A and B are shown apart, each in its own frame.
Chain A
Amino acid sequence: MKKVYLDYSATTPVDERVFKKMMPFFSQKYGNASSLHSFGQESKLVLEGAREKVADLISASSEEIIFTSSATESNNLALKGLLKKGDHLIISSIEHHCVEETANYLKREGVLVTKLEVDKKGFVKDLQKNIQKNTVLISIIHASNEIGVIQDIEKIGKIAKKNNILFHTDAAQSFGKVPIDVKYIDLLTASSHKIYGPKGAACLYVKKGIKLTPLLHGGGQEQGLRPSTYNISAIVGFGKAAEIAGKEMEKDYNHQVFLRDKIIEEALKIKGCYLNGDNQKRLPNNINLRFSGIEGEALVIKLDLEGIAVSTGSACASAKLEPSSVLLALGLKPHQAHGSLRISLGKYTTEKEIDYFLKILLKSVKELKQISPYK
């Protein structure tokens, strides 16, 4: 059966060039980058090379990049590393679970948390209004993993700066896909496996001068912020992926925007189909649709039976039987979130795949509507 992967926001395949670059670091160049001997020094060199490549992509300097194992870890480090009892934290109502749940944890530990609402299109509202005397950190997702909406981080950063508050952004979905400059950002999360690098490598950008408390204590790696023996192959892969993403960003961006807009245009012709999130300021690879009268989990399974991989924010697909909180934050009713479908493209997605997808989508929606009491 034909297989079409349209879930690149969940994770991406490793780019062949990245894989090739990583290969020697398993059995040949396996030195511990903290060792003094030649084996270690060889690893240290490539480690710093990777750091530079990641830093370059966001116009940061190398010393400001702290390698971690995942975006989840980076987000945890940023929030837990900065906040203590009595501090005030501002996040949005459309954060990834790993920021939301960390904020919930900190709340139980005595940190005060405000969740900013978003408007119908998905942009955060009322930031200035919610700043308090004890606000220490604003953490707002750069591009939503679900609805793809890209926040104006320059504007948010300027507000933070004016009020002398730190600004962290979770850029796991946008890093490497759209240009980012950390000028107005104090901390930023980026990840390797979302940009055709391997799983197991990510980073936290920490602007010079900002003091963090580490999550782990140990051998002092990463300026003491993230001790653990370096996962050198994954970090090398991350560096290579960042380098490629930088060089090929414009090409990949245009390619995906073309396919994205084709899907949106064709899908919106279906009766009862709507786009979730703003149609302009969104990731080049994200499409979030909703269909009235059908349920998203059934649609995902139907597409999967035809070899197509996508995802949904429907209650029926969640372990808790709750609709996606991100879709509800947009003001959608649970029954509207019920028919949602997230399609995320990648640089390897072809127009042929999209044509196939659209054909099967049309057929599947039609079939499910025939079964539904609401046509």
Chain B
Amino acid sequence: MSYNEKIINHFKNPKNYGKMKNPSAVGKLDNKNCGDVMWIYLKIKEDIIEDISFETLGCAVAIANSSLLTTMVKGKTIKEALKIKDKDLIKEFGQVPKVKLHCSFLAVKALKKAINNYYEKGSSSYVGRSR
């Protein structure tokens, strides 16, 4: 499998990885397709995602997606973050092999799960349902 430079760069030097201390919320996702696991940690203050990190057990593209997503989400409001779609990640990378398209979906879904977790904890009345 050959990946383009953007994917390889995020894979080689992933941004914002690792467990977060005292996160506001955590989203844990198991991928039924291939068995990969993705965890997203959020630190939220007044609807702004001040910090985000990930832990991923997965393929190179899954790791690259996790990393890319965190860079796109950091500093955004929850509303803005919820607008990010898997196709935005794919667009950012330029070219993603067909069998690897689901890895982007996985990252977006994990983020939604984390945001849901935030609301489930009762921090606000807004419920951003995950798909």
Q: Which residues of A contact B72 (CB under 8 A)?
A: none
Give the segment of A181-189, A207-215, A230-238, A290-298 that binds chain B: A290-298
Q: Which residues of A contact B63 (CB under 8 A)?
A: 298, 371
- Given contacts A295-B36, A338-B35, A374-B37, whether A321 and B56 have CB atoms under 8 Å apart is no
A319-B59 Cα distance, complex, nearest whole Å: 13
Q: Which residues of A contact B1 (CB under 8 A)?
A: 297, 301, 317
A373-B31 Cα distance, complex, nearest whole Å: 14
- A334 within 8 Å of B (CB atoms): yes
Asked if A305 contacts B59 (CB within 8 A), the reply is no
Asked if B99 contacts A372 (CB within 8 A), the reply is no
Closest B-chain residue to A338, C-beta based? Answer: B35
- B75 within 8 Å of A (CB atoms): no
Asked if B12 contacts A305 (CB within 8 A), the reply is yes
Partner of B33, one of A298, A317, A319, A321: A321
**Interface residue tally of chain A, by bracket?**
20 to 34
Q: Mark B69-84, 1 if CB is under 8 A from A, else 0.
A: 0000000000000000
Enumerate A317-340 residues with CB–CB distance to B below 8 Å. Answer: 317, 319, 321, 323, 334-335, 338
Q: Which residues of A contact B18 (CB under 8 A)?
A: 370-371
- Given contacts A298-B63, A301-B11, A370-B18, whether A316 and B57 have CB atoms under 8 Å apart is no
Separation in Å of the A306 CB from the closest CB of chain B?
A: 10
- B58 within 8 Å of A (CB atoms): yes
- Given contacts A297-B1, A298-B11, A317-B1, whether A372 and B56 have CB atoms under 8 Å apart is yes
Q: Which residues of A contact B33 (CB under 8 A)?
A: 315, 321
A323-B36 Cα distance, complex, nearest whole Å: 12
Partner of B17, one of A305, A317, A319, A371: A371
Asked if A315 contacts B35 (CB within 8 A), the reply is yes
A286-B4 Cα distance, complex, nearest whole Å: 31
A374-B56 Cα distance, complex, nearest whole Å: 9
A347-B18 Cα distance, complex, nearest whole Å: 41
Q: Which residues of A contact B48 (CB under 8 A)?
A: none
Enumerate B65-124 residues with CB–CB distance to A below 8 Å. Answer: 99, 102
Asked if A298 contacts B12 (CB within 8 A), the reply is no
A370-B99 Cα distance, complex, nearest whole Å: 26
Asked if A321 contacts B60 (CB within 8 A), the reply is no
Asked if A372 contacts B57 (CB within 8 A), the reply is yes
Number of interface residues of B (CB under 8 A): 27
- Given contacts A316-B36, A371-B63, whether A305 and B57 have CB atoms under 8 Å apart is no
Partner of B99, one of A298, A302, A314, A321: A321
A373-B62 Cα distance, complex, nearest whole Å: 13
Partner of A293, one of B11, B14, B28, B57: B57
Separation in Å of the B41 CB from the closest CB of chain A?
A: 10
Asked if A373 contacts B56 (CB within 8 A), the reply is yes
A128-B58 Cα distance, complex, nearest whole Å: 42
Closest B-chain residue to A371, C-beta based? Answer: B17
A315-B32 Cα distance, complex, nearest whole Å: 11
Asked if B55 contacts A316 (CB within 8 A), the reply is no
Closest A-chain residue to B3, C-beta based? Answer: A301
Asked if B58 contacts A373 (CB within 8 A), the reply is no
Asked if A295 contacts B57 (CB within 8 A), the reply is yes
A259-B19 Cα distance, complex, nearest whole Å: 38
Measured CB to CB, the residues of A under 8 A from B are: 293-295, 297-298, 301-302, 305, 314-317, 319, 321, 323, 334-335, 338, 370-374
Q: List 25 A-B contacts (CB under 8 A).
A: A293-B57, A295-B36, A295-B58, A298-B11, A298-B63, A301-B59, A305-B12, A314-B34, A316-B36, A316-B58, A317-B1, A321-B34, A321-B102, A323-B35, A335-B35, A338-B34, A370-B17, A371-B17, A371-B55, A372-B55, A373-B19, A373-B28, A373-B37, A373-B39, A373-B56
Query: Besides the contacts A293-B57, A298-B11, A373-B39, what 18 more A-B pairs have beta carbons closer than 8 Å?
Result: A295-B36, A295-B57, A295-B58, A295-B62, A297-B1, A298-B62, A301-B59, A305-B8, A314-B59, A315-B35, A316-B34, A317-B1, A319-B99, A338-B35, A338-B57, A371-B14, A371-B63, A373-B28
Closest CB pairs A-B (n = 8): A316-B59, A373-B55, A315-B34, A301-B60, A297-B59, A372-B57, A321-B34, A373-B39
Measured CB to CB, the residues of B under 8 A from A are: 1, 3, 8, 11-12, 14, 17-19, 28, 33-37, 39, 54-60, 62-63, 99, 102
